Amino acid sequence: MDKFTPENRYLVIKYALETNNVSKACKFFGISRTSYYKCYNRYQKMGIEGLEDIPRSKPKMPNKVPKYIEKIIIRLALKSPKDGPKRICYELQDMGIDVGETGIYNVLKRNDLNTASKRMDYTNRSEIKFNKKKRTDKIIRVSPFF
């Protein structure tokens, strides 16, 4: 059996009920008995609709840091790039936000800011972009050729 489609699931169940031999039906169709019983139990509970494919949802991470706290962590990390997760953790505790060092490290790592040098580079790049804007503004105002 190439793919375990709803039609194939129905055929396996039908064959197993006709022969009264689940093991033989599973061998014939090339599936495990565990898979058969999962399908059979869903078929008993919900009928033909129970044999349809179940869409898998993305797993939910209950301990993941919320977005608004993540933004605060990034802002604190960029405000003082030499501070690590431990110092940021203390600052968050002063604000009344309870996030562990590991959670802070994971946020920094997700945003590629997990080392002091990366945070310094990021802040330096931001300053250069900001300074370039100011310089071009001055050039436009001073020089009549632009």
pLDDT single digits (tens) 82-140: 999 999 999 999 999 999 999 999 999 999 999 999 999 988 886 656 555 555 444 44
Same domain, 112 and 78: yes
Same domain, 116 and 77: yes
Is position 114 within any domain? yes
Same domain, 71 and 120: yes
Is position 58 within any domain? no
DSSP 92: H
Q: Which burial class, exposed, middle or buried, applies to 130 when counting CB atoms under 10 A from its CB (0-12, 13-18, 19+)?
A: exposed
What pLDDT, on the 0 to 100 scale, is given for residue 107?
95
pTM to 2 decimal places: 0.52
Candidates 68, 69, 65; CA nearest to 106 is 65
Is position 1 within any domain? no
Range of the domain at 28: 6-51
Same domain, 73 and 20: no
Same domain, 80 and 29: no
Cα of first residue to Cα of last residue in the chain, in angstroms, is 72
Number of domains in the chain: 2
